[in-house]
Structure 1
Amino acid sequence: MSDSPEERLRALRFLRRVQARDLARTDRWIAVWEQRAAEWVRRQAKPAVPDWALQFGVGGRAARPAMVHTSQCWVPGAAMEGISRDQAIEALTRGGVPPCVMCRPERELGLLD
């Protein structure tokens, strides 16, 4: 086999096609793993803790709300749901939901002087 310039160019072009295909495959792998890494980070992120919570009575969320709490108050076994400041004020003032006697959310909300 002679080592003519045409044969050398053919071999180099073939090598370039192989390397381009390998590079494209590597780029696809990188894209897949970047997506997996982003999903992993999203799963690891803890959800924001709401400032207020609504406790429900027996029957869970189907029951009437039992109490409004601050986010630091903890009631073992209680069905609780995070709510916004406006929702907490609404529940205490118009909703007839009593405040927790331990954490006193009405004080933190500025409803009492």
Structure 2
Amino acid sequence: MPEHSSRLEKLRFLLRVQEQQLDVTRRWIEDEERREAERAQGEQTRPPQPDWVLELGIGVGSRPVEVHAGRCYAIGRRRKTITREQAVAALGEGVEACTHCRPDTELGIL
């Protein structure tokens, strides 16, 4: 086989490898676009953040643990969304105010 023919075969092989890599890159791009679309859809369908949250105790009938502002990072898993009036009432009944978000200060109860 002449030298230039071998070189041509090598170049065609290189082209096939590069096309395969382009296919892989295109799949990665498609996957990332799908993830971005799913993320955007999740953000659009996410319920709005509550203004006030009551962190519940363990067990049926147990007392609530704390009142939190809805944006608080320290809210436990057992929670209930409440109104401003319910938050004020809970604090007035002796439920603790979260020491991180200070809902008592925000509600004007010191």
Identity of aligned residues (%): 45
2:48 equivalent in structure 1: 48
SS at match of 2:65: strand
Deviation at 1:107, TM superposition (A): 0.5
Deviation at 1:71, TM superposition (A): 0.7
Q: TM-score, normalised by structure 2?
A: 0.53
2:87 equivalent in structure 1: 88
- Residue 106 of structure 2 corresponds to residue 103 of structure 1: no
Which letter maps to 1:103? C
Segments of 5+ residues of structure 1 without an aligned counterpart are 1-43
Runs of 4+ in 1 over 4 A off after TM superposition: none
Deviation at 1:63, TM superposition (A): 2.0
Which letter maps to 1:109? L
RMSD (Å) for aligned C-alpha atoms: 2.2
Which letter maps to 1:100? C
Segments of 5+ residues of structure 2 without an aligned counterpart are 1-43
Rg (Cα) greater in structure: 1
How many equivalent residue pairs? 68
Deviation at 1:68, TM superposition (A): 0.4
